[in-house]
Amino acid sequence: MSSYLPVLVLFVLAVAFGLLSLLVSITLSPKARSQAKEAPYECGIVPGREAPERFPVKFFLVAMIFIVFDIEIIFFFPWAVVFRELGGYGLAVIGIFAALVFESFVYLIGNGALEWGPRQRQRRAEIVSPDRTLTSTIRRVGAEGRPAALEPAALAPAAHHAPGHGDHGHGDHGAAA
Amino acid sequence: MAVNYVVFFICALICLLGATGVVFSRNPVHAALSLVATLFGIAVLFVQQSAHFLAAVQVIVYTGAIVVLILFVMMLLGVDQEEDIDEEPLLGVRAAGTIVATILLLGLLAVFFLQSNRSTLVTGERSVTAPLSVDASLDSTKGVAETAGPDNMATLGRLLFTRYVFAFEVTAALLTIAVVGAVVLARRPDRLQPVPDEPESMDDDFMAALESEAGH
Amino acid sequence: MSSLAAVLAQAAPGLTAGPAAAAPTPTITVPDIEWTALLPILVLGLGAVLLLTLTSLARGTVTRSGYAIYTVLVATGAMATAAPLWGRVHAWDHLGKWELSPPYGPFSAVAGAIGVDGFSVFITLLIGVAVILGALLADDYLRREGIDGPEYYVLLLLSATGGVIMAMANDLIVLFLGLETLSIAVYVLAAIHLKRVQSQEAGLKYFVLGGFSSAFFLYGVAMVYGATGSTNLVQIKDLLAVKVPTHNALLLIGLGLMLVGLGFKVAAVPFHSWSPDVYDGAPSPVAAFMASGVKAAGFAGLTRAFLLGFGQFASDWQPVLYFLAAASMLVGAIVGITQTNVKRALAYSSINHAGFMLMALQAASPKGVTGLLFYLATYTFMTVGSFGIATLAGRTGDGHHDLADYRGFSRTNPALAGLFVLFLLGQSGFPLTSGFVAKFGSIAAAVDAGSWHLAVIGMVSAAISAFIYLRIIVAMYMAESDTEAAEKAPKAARIKVPFGAGLALVACALATIGFGILPNGLNRVAGEAEPVLVKEPVPAAASGADGAGLTGLDLTTIPTTPTTR
């Protein structure tokens, strides 16, 4: 009986927390329901289409990384139980293990895999990129939602001559097209 | 003693209800949450069998991480998409699934009922009934949990850090690969398409491009 | 019902009152870690980790070709650390100037997890060679495709680490972990060409099917564990030597499932269907590594698990291998002829080669292992050479692999075409190339083992598969006269051969000719590289390496012979 008591207590706590959260949310939140409030953008912009992709891929990456470190943690449990017996040897073994896994964390940081927001936005803001080509210019205007495969193959080689004729300016090409 | 029965039946009920929910939920998120219930029920059953480590793994890795990953995938694909369950994507999938499930059920029932002559059914020297404990002898009169005792995790720790220490360290390499792989594959190039063929001759293609441009 | 009731009726144990908690803490036998035996693994693995860390900390400071040079150095280092092991295994007291420390002879280390014998050292060296060649080929390729970075090299080294672990595995769990380390890294490598959808598709396909096959393998290991009570190959072998199970269904199911998993890795028919797609879609240097390093590791795993661990069951698994070998040789050769894509044709040819190697393995004899190792060694060079040419001929985008793209190749790139002919002839088993000696060794082993039907199938398939190679040669040399087609298809352009790839190709060519004309040296080495299962010496017991009793390895678990039942 006694061994299940902690489980039961935990279970009760978990349920209580869930219920409490719901209850607090219901009772304390201000209720002002109107059409404008229910709309996706309260500022008045009408959404053009349903957003099919809710999450960027980055979330998935974070989830993957979470699993990796989760599994690392799991191995700490058996060690923690017997670490007095194992002594320095066990510490060395788990230290090597942790260092190896932690090293991937260094890689993540070094690669900016955990960076959000600003950097991405900067890159997107570069509308006039130095390696802009004829094709990319055309695609920018009125081509949204068109699959990339539709890009005319005949225009692709134009990328090769663009550097040679840099002084022409890309706007001219766009106008010609 | 009665507690064990009660716990078992409650958990079994949770498992079954969760599993039913996974199959019958129309909303995929509800299905994923039902999976949590099933996995949690199994975790409690593991505790009951004194497999504390497995219970921890079940809760921390499966319920905690894998289901979260499943949910993330759903979010990536869009939760608002409803699948038409009545439509079979591949012909005969449902029939095949039913048959396999029936065979599995019969197999499990066979193990359950033919257990008295276990030696002929499970042919190994030591079947799954052998405990993991250090000096527990193979006493067939006792169940798994009794011989293994509550010290299961310690036994596992001892084994993991002595005999399987090499395998343990290799796991770290495996985790590193997983991280590198995830980062490499999640990195999106500017455009994902077959790389356009290299022009065999720059001049010809330049002319061709000019012509096509003029044609527009 | 009884055990369920027993479980249910179990008295709730107090958290501290269990009998085990009250018992005195058992002394932990710290396993003796034989660092020198681990050195090849450590050099490869830590080399990869170091590269990853350094490039993360100082990104963008690596000079041109820095990654490739580093990788070559690491792989060379790993091979250099494997050389003393070879000496120790063969009980040399010194290697050059260095004195070699005992124990001499094959030994097992780290609580019986890994075994060092001639076989594992040989495969280690082979995988080292595959890594070096893969790095050399990739160096210019990655820059050309605009996907340069440390990741390719890190994954290559980690994958090789997994391969070496497989080659040394004395425990099925270690074998599985090696397999996964090898495979997962290669899954990512297959998809590393992010700009090419085919590469992504190949990676996904390989990942899904490979994960499936790994599950098969793991399930098989679980079955074997259920049947024998151990995952350690030494213990399993000892147990099966003493006790002959009368009802061995569980064990046989386990063996079958393990064979599926490993058969997938070596692309044996009927587990081959992934390989043409993946070889075609994956970046060409990766395909070269898959065909050489991964295959070598897969065969190492097959040899260790089946020949060593379950040698007593040879009569059970030999017929299965017989079938796999025959099917692989025939399907690889016949379907290979119809391919119009060079990389796909090479993939089918590699299936055909896998059949030959399985034929050597199914002989289950020392001669068979020698044949297998010789085949693996020579095949590594031939296939890396072939995929190396494909790497260069694929040009930017890595998409020019149709036979039509090779038209006029001999005129525009006579040197490359000549090398390609050499590699293709070698693969077809042309006399005076290493491929001939290798095929001969494999067939001889099969004949010696009495499976001469299989040997005949092998010879027939070799004759059929020659057409695969002839088609490519014809496309390179003769198709120019076909004016209509020649005009339609773009002429193969002149290709500038980068230094690294050139070096790799020349090395492969030298090996292909050298081992063809003078095969004796390699053959002798392959003959000395015999796989052995040796028990780890028990630290406390006085008994020697071979004489320890059944419970010699048991540090903490239940005794191997169940006497109390």
- State the ipTM, two decimals: 0.84
Q: Give span(s): CATH 1.20.58.1610, chain A.
A: 56-125
Mutant choice from C8, C46, C49 vs A, greatest count of A C-beta within 10 A: C49
Please give, rounded to a whole number of angstroms, the shortest distance from the CA of A42 to a CA of chain B.
21
Residue B203, pLDDT > 50, answer no
Check CB contact under 8 Å for A111 and C15. Answer: no
Please give, rounded to a whole number of angstroms, the shortest distance from the CA of B5 to a CA of chain A.
11
The structure tokens listed for C545 are 């390496």
Residue C87's pLDDT is: 86
Please give, rounded to a whole number of angstroms, the shortest distance from the CA of C111 to a CA of chain B.
5
Check CB contact under 8 Å for A100 and C49. Answer: yes
Query: Please, what's the b/e burial string for B120-130 (b: 16 or more CB within 10 A of its CB; e: otherwise)?
Result: eebbbbbeebb
Least confident of A58-62, C140-144, C288-292: A58-62
Count the Cβ atoms, other than its own, within 10 Å of residue C486: 15
C43-53 pLDDT, tens digit per residue, is 999 999 999 99
Give pTM, 2 decimals: 0.81
> Within 13 Å, how many C-alpha atoms sit on residue C27's CB side?
2
Q: Are strands C114-116 and C107-109 parallel, antiparallel or unpaired?
A: antiparallel
Of C112, C192, C196, the CB nearest to B184: C192
Which tops the pLDDT comparison, C548 or B85?
A: B85
Residues in chain C, total: 565
Nearest residue of chain C to residue A110 (CA atoms): C56
| Fold type of domain A56-125 | Methane Monooxygenase Hydroxylase; Chain G, domain 1 (1.20.58)
Average per-residue pLDDT for chain A: 71
How many whole angstroms separate alpha carbon B42 and alpha carbon B54?
10
A96 contact B CB<8A = yes
What contacts C211, CB < 8 A, 6 or more positions away? none
C49 to chain A: which residues are within 8 Å by CB? Answer: 100, 103
What is the band of C563 on the pLDDT scale with cuts at 50, 70, 90? very low
How many whole angstroms separate alpha carbon C507 and alpha carbon B89?
51
Residue C492, pLDDT > 50, answer yes
B169 contact C CB<8A = no
Neighbours of chain A (3+ CB pairs under 8 A): B, C
Q: Which positions 210-239 of C are in contact with B (Cβ < 8 Å)?
A: 226-229, 239
Residues C408-416: what's their mean pLDDT? 87
C333-386 pLDDT, tens digit per residue, is 999 999 999 999 999 999 999 999 999 999 999 999 999 999 999 999 999 999
Residue B140's pLDDT is: 37
Residue C191's pLDDT is: 93
Q: What is the DSSP string of C209-258?
A: HHHHHHHHHHHHHHHHHHHHS--BHHHHHHHHHH---S--HHHHHHHHHH
C198 to chain A: which residues are within 8 Å by CB? Answer: none
B144 to chain C: which residues are within 8 Å by CB? Answer: 3, 7
A113 contact B CB<8A = yes
Residue A132, pLDDT > 70, answer no
Give B61: exposed, middle or buried? Use CB within 10 Å, 0-12, 13-18, 19+: middle
Please give, rounded to a whole number of angstroms, the shortest distance from the CA of C465 to a CA of chain B.
31
Tell me the torsion sign for CA atoms C114, C118, C119, C125.
positive
How many whole angstroms separate alpha carbon C400 and alpha carbon C403?
9
Beta strands in C320-394 (DSSP E): none
B60 contact A CB<8A = yes
B174 contact A CB<8A = no
C392 contact B CB<8A = no
Check CB contact under 8 Å for C13 and B150. Answer: yes
Please give, rounded to a whole number of angstroms, the shortest distance from the CA of C420 to a CA of chain B.
22
C31 to chain A: which residues are within 8 Å by CB? Answer: none
Nearest residue of chain B to residue C109 (CA atoms): B166
Residue B148, pLDDT > 70, answer no
Beta strands in C76-234 (DSSP E): 94-95, 98-99, 107-109, 114-116
What is the band of C488 on the pLDDT scale with cuts at 50, 70, 90? low
